[in-house]
Amino acid sequence: MSSEESVMDRPTAPEDATGGVVLSARNVSRSFGSVHALKSVNFDIRRGQVTTLFGENGAGKSTLMKILSGVIQPSSGEIVLDGESVSFASTVDAQRHGISIIHQELSLAPNMTVRDNIFMGRELGGPGGVNYAEEARETERLMVELDEPIDPLTLVEDLRLGQQQIVEIARALSVNSRILIMDEPTSALSASEVEVLFRVIADLKSRGVSIVYISHHLEEALTITDHAVVLRDGAMTAYAERCEIDLEWIVRHMVGENFDLGSPPTGHTMGEVALSFEDISVADVAVPERSVVDRLSLSVRAGEIVCIYGLMGAGRTELLECAAGRVSPNGGRIMLEGENISRLSIAERIERGLVLVPEDRQRDGLVQTMAVGENLSLASIGAFTRGLLTSRRREQTVIDDSIRNVHIKTDGGAAGIGSLSGGNQQKVVIGKMLATQPRVVLLDEPSRGIDIGAKAEVFRLLAEGASKGLAVIYSTSEVGECLSVAHRIVVMSRGRISAEFGADVTREEIMAASGESAEG
Amino acid sequence: MSDVQRSAAPAASDQSSSRSASRRAGGFDLGRILLEGRAFFALIAIVIIFSMLSPVYFSTSNFLTMSSHVAIFGLLSVGMLLVILTGGIDLSVGSTMGLAGVIAGFMMQGVSLDIFGMTLYPPVWAVVVLTCVAGAFVGMINGVLVSIFKVPAFVATLGTLYVARGVALLMTDGLTYNNLGGNPEFGNTGFDWLGFNRLFGVPVGVLIFAAVAIACMFALNRTPFGRWVYASGGNARAAELSGVPVKRVQVWVYVLSGVCAAIAGLVLSSQLTSAGPTAGTTYELTAIAGVVIGGAALTGGRGNVRGTLLGAFVIGFLSDGLVIIGVSSYWQTVFMGAVIVLAVLLNSIQYKPRKKRSASAKDQKTPPAPSGAS
């Protein structure tokens, strides 16, 4: 903390930046019980500019955004809009003042058309009921404006995620929002969709709309932002304009020290081949004659960390789910330490030491109705069962060990899963799988939506495991991660391996092999 | 730290930490206690009110009589709880119960085997076992339809509701088996023991109910199966990836629900000394009501046996109380409906994303406890 005092002397943004201040938070604090989520934060949003909020999970970014958009009210401090102190009773109230928020999870009805979604809740009335023609015209106009000519009558579920995001933006614009808050808008987008989004953001800026942007993808955020604000532990630790900063600056202020994700663990010898895929094919669920994984062979040795890099839809998830037993292959074999496991159930594979940390932790990783401890012990119930009964004491040992080993910040095993931050929830999923004492761990995009500190801890866990002989397959769409954790990098594209590299590969080589042009 | 504490105004809580914080606040939050123990307080209120309205209500003999009524749909409720915890529903329990009674009655009349030209009179224990097997069979059909063929539980069990009822009617031609006493000559007497006898002054039916409930409580809290049930209901995908045999668990809960229904059918037909094909009609709804009043979430993953027992007793003691004080049966129906709606209303308040609920809780001064205090 002390090393940061030097930046604390500039808590408020200087007034000389281009574009006047539209909305600002003055000494805003907010506490939940005895937890102080925000401590006297000052924050300015300028007309027609992008302000990016950086910070780890639990740093208070979401809390601040919820306050600005009227979801919750501050415990103390004030919000100033156009020079006047205001308070928002609700999101509707905030929207009336021109402030809209686009949440990470989109709030569209997938079964309805683009038009109906945009006018949901404020349908244009006419003499004969809803004036659909006028709504469609207006939708079309908005879409053209956003340079994404989607037919107003398309169902939202038929749109790609990136297009859905645009629809959400269109909805915000249709209520004349002047300030648009975007929470992790790119986390599920492909590179080309991100490009479209950034073009839309640039266009919005030119029309005087102010944007508040939150992202864990630091490099990406740097390409579009005008101002950077860094939060840590609920306090603002740094503010700067884009021209003054770089990636290293952000990371340093986010985590409070010079930070490096590290490099692949070395110094241990690798063992025998632990897991190997032999000519594995997996059919597409939607189009059975198409293969999402196409006669792929790959092996990983004990103590080795293999990264599978690829874009979305390259078949990484399907490959890993096939290994774990969630989907069955329509060709090929999977060998675990010399045994063909292709026909075993998920439970049998876990018993033999093969586990998967799934991509979507909310959907596939956590049981939200259960406490932290019960989630942690779920995959290793057998370890604390004697005869018919589970042993409370042994279970508690498993739970306590997991919490300690993977460094979960929690009130204890009895705390609700919802009380943890995203990074800690991910650690619960990883801890649950490590508690089964596996010999092969598959991780599918484990760093999605978690902050850099948590990411570093995940890497540390993997490195530690590898040095003890754990075989790791790590799937990711971030090149930087490959470089800092993998002994070997496999690039996957359209269901096949398109290239394989050692740890000494460069960023550009990997990206070229994935069929992706170098970005940002 | 301390000055920050002071500046923090007492305010509503967001999702995080509200639970643990309110736990730390100690037992001073009356609203929460009333909400979480609502079935218990409702039961006490019912007992007090009816005891004041009627002199005969508050007596051991009346409580035992009411309990033997409660035992019937309590048994159904316990089985239903298992199903509901996995996120399913079992509408067939009322019919299964009726069918079980008819099957038992059928066997008590003697099974004539024409090929051998003789009639077989199975002993009572065999009748009981075979009836339970029949219940398990109906449950297994439900379970397989739901887990393997992915038929929505509501539809699958609605189908078996009709089929089981139809089979019961076919077996009896719509008539009722009135002679369940058995014949000492054939060595199959004693069926009425289930419904009429008492052990230590408690009706056998109530003891059976208690035994089933305790076994179920034990299974849910202390066995891997119980954990699997909660995990399957909370998030089936995550449970599956953690190695939980979700499909097997689903089949099993329906099988157990079917067995519970069969036991209930046996106790009921023994109490009535007759087995009619229409017995237990709409009991599935009473069973669901008991589970819901007991605080279980119909979405799965939340609920426990203790709550369900309380729920069953609330329904039983309320409806019997209304009979005792002479309220018309039409009004009884209205009352029951109102109680169920109220219960669901309170459930949705309890399981709402924890935002507004603990707002009032936080207003009471929470001493800043060390964070490891829970």
Name which of A378, A168, A337, A407 is nearest B243 in CA terms: A378
pLDDT score for A260: 59
A489 Cβ partners below 8 Å, 6+ apart?
A306, A307, A309, A482, A483, A500, A501, A502, A503, A505, A510
pLDDT score for B15: 38
| pLDDT higher at B84 or B362 | B84
Quickly state the pLDDT bin for B133 (edges 50, 70, 90).
Answer: very high
Helix (H) or strand (E) holding A374: helix A372-377
Domain identity same for A91 and A139: no
Gap between the Cα atoms of A185 and A64, Å rounded: 17
Measured between its terminal Cα atoms, the distance across chain A in Å is 31
> Which of B3, B84, B220, B241 to mutate: most A Cβ within 10 Å?
B241
- For the segment A412-429, the average pLDDT, to the nearest whole number, is 84
**A337-387, pLDDT tens digit by residue?**
888 998 899 999 999 999 999 888 888 889 988 999 999 999 988 888 887
Find the residue in A nearest to B239 (Cα): A367
Domain identity same for A182 and A42: yes
pLDDT score for A58: 65
Cβ atoms of B139 and B254 within 8 Å: the answer is yes
Gap between the Cα atoms of B110 and A139, Å rounded: 75
Say yes or no: ipTM exceeds 0.90. Answer: no
Name which of A458, A158, A445, A462 is nearest A308 in CA terms: A445
| pLDDT higher at A122 or A273 | A273
pLDDT score for B373: 35
Beta bridge partners of A214: A53, A183
pLDDT score for B211: 95
Of A369, A374, A412, the CB nearest to B372: A412
A233 Cβ partners below 8 Å, 6+ apart?
A39, A59, A60
Percent of chain A with pLDDT over 70: 91
Domain identity same for A295 and A370: no
pLDDT score for B16: 39
Query: Is A29 at the interface with chain B, CB within 8 A?
Result: yes
Percent of chain A with pLDDT over 90: 13
CB atoms within 10 A of CB B32: 18
Of B19, B224, B369, the CB nearest to A34: B369
> A42 phi and psi, to 5 degrees?
-110, 135
- For the segment B88-107, the average pLDDT, to the nearest whole number, is 93
Domain identity same for A462 and A503: yes
pLDDT score for A110: 83
Closest approach of A230 to chain B, Cα-based (Å): 21
Please, what is the angle between helix B60-85 and helix B305-324, to 10°?
Answer: 140
Find the residue in A nearest to B245 (Cα): A347
> A485 phi and psi, to 5 degrees?
-130, -25
Strand arrangement, sheet containing A76-81: A35-46, A21-32, A76-81, A84-86
pLDDT score for B82: 95
Gap between the Cα atoms of B90 and B154, Å rounded: 7
- Which residue bears the tokens 């209304």? B322
Q: Which of A404, A437, A470 is the last residue of a domain?
A: A437
Domain identity same for A172 and A182: no
Q: Where are the domains of chain B?
A: 45-347
Find the residue in B nearest to A38 (Cα): B8
CATH of the domain at A292: 3.40.50.300
Q: Is the pLDDT of residue B205 over 60?
A: yes
Gap between the Cα atoms of A434 and A439, Å rounded: 9
Assigned token pair, B355: 């935002």
Cβ atoms of A316 and A327 within 8 Å: the answer is no
Q: Are B11 and A75 an interchain contact pair (Cβ–Cβ within 8 Å)?
A: yes
Domain identity same for A250 and A264: no
Strand intervals (E) in A33-92: 35-46, 50-54, 76-81, 84-86
Q: Is the pLDDT of residue B58 over 60?
A: yes
pLDDT score for A267: 76
Closest approach of A104 to chain B, Cα-based (Å): 16
Assigned token pair, B7: 């500046």
Average pLDDT of every residue of chain A = 82
Measured between its terminal Cα atoms, the distance across chain B in Å is 20
Name which of A170, A212, A184 is nearest A68 in CA terms: A212
Query: Is A111 at the interface with chain B, CB within 8 A?
Result: no
Name which of B27, B38, B78 is nearest B349 in CA terms: B38
**Residue A213: what residue type?**
Y
With 0-12 / 13-18 / 19 or more C-beta atoms within 10 angstroms meaning exposed / middle / buried, residue A22 is buried
- Spell out which residues of chain A touch residue B230, defining contact as CB-CB under 8 Å: 367, 369-370, 374
Cβ atoms of B131 and B266 within 8 Å: the answer is yes
pLDDT score for B12: 37
Domain identity same for A266 and A294: yes
Domain identity same for A152 and A190: no
Q: Are A33 and B374 an interchain contact pair (Cβ–Cβ within 8 Å)?
A: no
Cβ atoms of A309 and A476 within 8 Å: the answer is yes
**A146-168, pLDDT tens digit by residue?**
777 888 888 888 887 778 888 88
Gap between the Cα atoms of B39 and B347, Å rounded: 11
Find the residue in A nearest to B302 (Cα): A369
Quickly state the pLDDT bin for B232 (edges 50, 70, 90).
Answer: very high
**Residue A385: what residue type?**
T
| Cα radius of gyration rounded to whole Å, chain A | 24
pLDDT score for A261: 65
**A199-245, pLDDT tens digit by residue?**
888 888 888 889 998 887 777 888 888 888 888 878 888 888 888 88
Q: Which of A242, A257, A272 is the last residue of a domain?
A: A257
With 0-12 / 13-18 / 19 or more C-beta atoms within 10 angstroms meaning exposed / middle / buried, residue A456 is middle
B117 Cβ partners below 8 Å, 6+ apart?
none
pLDDT score for A5: 41
- Asked, for residue A360, whether it belongs to a domain, the answer is no
Domain identity same for A210 and A327: no
Find the residue in A nearest to B354 (Cα): A418
Find the residue in B nearest to A419 (Cα): B16
pLDDT score for B141: 95
pLDDT score for A283: 86
pLDDT score for A4: 41
- Asked, for residue A94, whether it belongs to a domain, the answer is yes
Q: DSSP assignment, residue A365?
A: I
**B303-322, pLDDT tens digit by residue?**
999 999 999 999 999 989 99
- Asked, for residue A359, whether it belongs to a domain, the answer is no
Q: Dump the DSSP string for A219-288.
A: HHHHHH-SEEEEEETTEEEEEEEGGG--HHHHHHHHHSS---------SS---SEEEEEEEEEEE-SSST
Range of the structural domain that residue A385 is part of:
365-437
Our count of domains for chain A comes to 4
- Let me know how many helices (H) and strands (E) chain A has, helices first: 17, 24
- Spell out which residues of chain A touch residue B362, defining contact as CB-CB under 8 Å: 33
- Asked, for residue A506, whether it belongs to a domain, the answer is yes
Assigned token pair, B250: 């689903």
Domain identity same for A349 and A442: yes
Cβ atoms of A279 and A331 within 8 Å: the answer is yes
Average pLDDT of every residue of chain B = 82
To the nearest 10°, report the CA torsion of B2, B4, B7, B12: -110
Query: Is A387 at the interface with chain B, CB within 8 A?
Result: no
Domain identity same for A87 and A160: no
Beta bridge partners of A356: A442
Of B13, B239, B301, the CB nearest to A32: B13
> Which of B22, B228, B242 to mutate: most A Cβ within 10 Å?
B242
- Spell out which residues of chain A touch residue B9, defining contact as CB-CB under 8 Å: 31, 75-76
Q: Is the pLDDT of residue B18 over 80?
A: no
- For the segment A330-341, the average pLDDT, to the nearest whole number, is 89
Please, what is the angle between helix B283-293 and helix B329-350, to 10°?
Answer: 40
Query: Is A312 at the interface with chain B, CB within 8 A?
Result: no
Gap between the Cα atoms of B302 and B233, Å rounded: 8
- Residue-wise over B203-232: b if at least 16 C-beta within 10 A, else e? bbbbbbbeebbeebbebbebbbbbbbbbbb
Q: Are B7 and A29 an interchain contact pair (Cβ–Cβ within 8 Å)?
A: yes
pLDDT score for A19: 67
Assigned token pair, B331: 């009004």
Gap between the Cα atoms of A90 and A116, Å rounded: 23
Name which of B92, B48, B372, B225 is nearest A414 in CA terms: B372
Domain identity same for A87 and A54: yes
With 0-12 / 13-18 / 19 or more C-beta atoms within 10 angstroms meaning exposed / middle / buried, residue A498 is middle
Interface size between A and B, measured as CB pairs under 8 A: 151
pLDDT score for A38: 85
- For the segment A293-310, the average pLDDT, to the nearest whole number, is 90
A333 Cβ partners below 8 Å, 6+ apart?
A277, A278, A279, A280, A340, A342
> B45-347: what fold?
ABC transporter involved in vitamin B12 uptake, BtuC (1.10.3470)
**A39-86, pLDDT tens digit by residue?**
888 888 888 889 998 877 667 888 888 888 888 888 888 888 888 888
**B208-230, pLDDT tens digit by residue?**
999 999 999 999 998 999 999 99
3-state helix, strand, coil in chain A (%, to 5): 35, 25, 40
**A459-513, pLDDT tens digit by residue?**
888 888 898 899 999 998 777 778 888 899 998 888 888 888 888 887 777 777 7
- What Cα–Cα distance (Å) separates residue B119 from each residue in A227, A388, B112, B134, B189? 92, 42, 4, 21, 16
Would you say how long chain B is, in residues?
A: 374
